[in-house]
Amino acid sequence: MSFGRLKKVIIRKPPRGHYSCIPHLVAGHDDFKLYIEGDELYADMLAAIAAAQKSVDMESYIFAADEVGWRFAEALAAKGAEGVVVRLHIDAAGSLHWGSRQLERFLRLHNVQVHRFHRWSWRKPWRYNRRNHRKLLVVDKSEAYLGGFNIHRESSREFSGEERWRDTHVRMRGHLARQASFLFDRFWAGDRRWVLKVVNASSVLVPNHNSHCRRSFYCLYTHVFEAAKQTLYLTTPYFVPDNRTQRALKRAAERGVDVRLLVPAKSDVPITQWAAQAAYASLLASGVKIFEYLPRMLHAKTVVIDGSWSSLGTANLDYRSFFLNYELNLVSRDHRLCEALQQQFLTDLGEAKQIVAARWAQRRWYRRVLELVGWMARRWL
């Protein structure tokens, strides 16, 4: 995709208000590359790190001490040893069972600054539940990568074969890379409330917590669901919608919008799937079409509305992403990105089975019990 004109970026704390967290975008184009395969993404990320001249900033919810993780660790260490400023921000809870002290010591030994977000503290135990779920790489403030891919072998065909996770990521350059760099800097410094006000742009990066709204994605998605006119395509691995979000989806379907939801047939967190299924009957009754992706674990998080508005990044459609975790999404009206995401959604539907309302109503009693268990635990998943 060609490089779009630069946009003016204003950094300020916006006025309070419900709609102040919803970015106004104009149609246009930016410089994007879309990834749905981990090996291709990892190769480009590693090449970007190797070419870094001044800085490498990286966030990952999971940074595993496996074949993929060590490749990245060695690449980061090499740049740190050269004198490039390298910062790695990983989540303490997300990487708890994936990382290793050996990997972290190796990085620190080679001048890589490593920060674990919200380590366990007996003085502040409640903060451990609020996680940094962002997956972001920024190189020299000129190239950035954002999406759902963690750093682990589960997303690699080379190491996991046909069982690899299906995910979505994007590469950005120009003004979006500069936005990503600023948002990383502020988060690294502990200031998680700032928001970027972007003037006359077709795309913008949106964190879900800022100075005027601690639930930006909640407000944003509800607003765009209610504004949808023709199509509303959602892909999410963890679908645990609150009542307001469910109502917005049902109202869209009832007014004739083609609402389609793609979720995994097999989840890595079964109780989350039970909670999602507790909402199926009501959604199906209103005309929402639900599909389960069959080939492998689905981990992508994308939204495409009317073929002209899209979102992709780290946020799931669940309580944790809406109300607890720190997330970061790209929101765009770039027509080529919207078209590519919509086409990928339709391609994925070709490998999915549709949940039929009549058959769903006949599910066995124990499935209903599991749904109840999942729904009762929905705020903690």
DSSP secondary structure, 91-157, as one string: ETTTTTTT--HHHHHHHHHTTEEEEEET---SSSGGGGGS-B---EEEETTTEEEEES--BSGGG-H
Q: Could you tell me if residue 1 is inside a domain?
A: no
Radius of gyration of the chain measured on its C-alpha atoms: 20
For the chain, give the number of residues.
381
**Mean pLDDT, all residues of the chain:** 87
Q: Could you tell me if residue 201 is inside a domain?
A: yes
Q: What is the pLDDT of residue 368?
A: 75
Q: pTM of the predicted model, to two decimals?
A: 0.90
Q: What is the pLDDT of residue 209?
A: 67
Q: What is the pLDDT of residue 8?
A: 38
Contact 126, 308 (CB under 8 A): no
Residue 30 belongs to domain spanning: 9-380
Q: Could you tell me if residue 312 is inside a domain?
A: yes
Residues of the chain with pLDDT under 50: 1-18
Q: Could you tell me if residue 96 is inside a domain?
A: yes
Are β-strands 203-207 and 328-332 bridged in parallel, bridged antiparallel, or unpaired? antiparallel
Q: Could you tell me if residue 259 is inside a domain?
A: yes
Using CA atoms, how far apart are residues 106 and 102, in angstroms rounded to an integer? 6
Q: What is the pLDDT of residue 381?
A: 61
- CATH number, domain of 225, equals 3.30.870.10
Contact 65, 153 (CB under 8 A): no
Q: What is the pLDDT of residue 210?
A: 59
Q: Could you tell me if residue 3 is inside a domain?
A: no
Q: Could you tell me if residue 2 is inside a domain?
A: no
Nearest to 34 by CA among 352, 347, 349, 336: 336
Using CA atoms, how far apart are residues 332 and 157, in angstroms rounded to an integer? 29
Q: Could you tell me if residue 99 is inside a domain?
A: yes
Using CA atoms, how far apart are residues 14 and 18, in angstroms rounded to an integer? 11
Contact 160, 268 (CB under 8 A): no
As for how many domains the chain has, the answer is 1
Q: Which residues contact 263 (CB under 8 A, 6 or more apart)?
A: 235, 236, 237, 239, 273, 276, 290, 291, 292, 293, 298
